[in-house]
Amino acid sequence: MSGALNGRVAIVTGGSDGIGLATAQMLAQRGATVAVCARRAERLAAAKTAIEAAGGVCEIHTLDVTDFDALAALIDDVAARHGRLDMLVNNAMSTHYAPLAKLGLDHWRKDFAVNADAVFVATKAAMAIMVKQGGGAIVNVSSSCGIRAATNMASYSASKAALTHFTACAAMEGARHGVRINAIVPGQVQTAGTEEFARKAPEVAALTADAIPMGRGGRPEELAEAICFLLSDAASYISGVALPVDGGKAAQLYMPYSYQG
């Protein structure tokens, strides 16, 4: 797959670690010029070093995606400087864990601002560019929490559900213009956040992983493979889907026993 994306330009939000970083690295490895944005300058610098050390082309931008004007301006700027914008990955995320009785409206609004509002702003800006140039591809990173209910995660889950349905709506508008828009739906992924959780609550983490049909969380690289596929020409007739990449979790009907017959 090396060189499959030569000459193409991509933007990845929340690209300094986890799924975003793995995706930026994979896109660069396959020949794309990748603009990575995130809030933490030090992590961005490390991401740039890693991507360039592997021979990729990368630029970094310190940005909070809830600065909507700056987000739209960044997308316009990247496209103007490179003469095109072929791919956008909306990966930045926010989550708050709390029961409804303790969930503040500010927490609710923050999760929606990052997980839904910023995706709308970025997709709208990118679509305008892609329609004019005759095509492009966008992948939004949703969550299994957006298609299945979980306790203590109402704001995150509701915002991811909004993102998933927005993806389908945007795909309908982009389809006749050659702009494909899809979502991936990760389950548990082995990121710095889940590793910290495993250190704090190893028994709960083990039970969570065991409840996944494949018996483990996903690796960021496995999610990146799915994203890069949906961005690639190999997915040229795929738009409007929400693809679970979760070890079978979304398909699972949980049973508290295993009957062998």
Q: How many residues does the chain have?
A: 261
* The pair of three-digit structure tokens given for residue 185, joined into one six-digit string: 């739906």
Distance between CA atoms of 54 and 72, rounded to whole angstroms? Answer: 29
Kindly provide the residue ranges of all beta strands, DSSP E only, lying in the chain, ordered along the sequence.
9-13, 33-38, 57-62, 87-90, 136-141, 179-186, 242-245
Whether 259 sits among the annotated catalytic residues: the reply is: no
Q: What angle do CA 23, 172, 89 make, to 5 degrees?
A: 15
Catalytic member of 97, 156, 257, 259: 156
Half-sphere exposure of 234 (CA within 13 A, CB side): 10
Half-sphere exposure of 235 (CA within 13 A, CB side): 23
Least Cα distance to 193 among 10, 19, 74, 7 occurs for: 19
3-class DSSP state for residue 64?
A: coil
Would strands 136-141 and 33-38 be described as parallel, antiparallel, or unpaired?
A: unpaired
DSSP 238: -
The residues assigned a catalytic role are 156
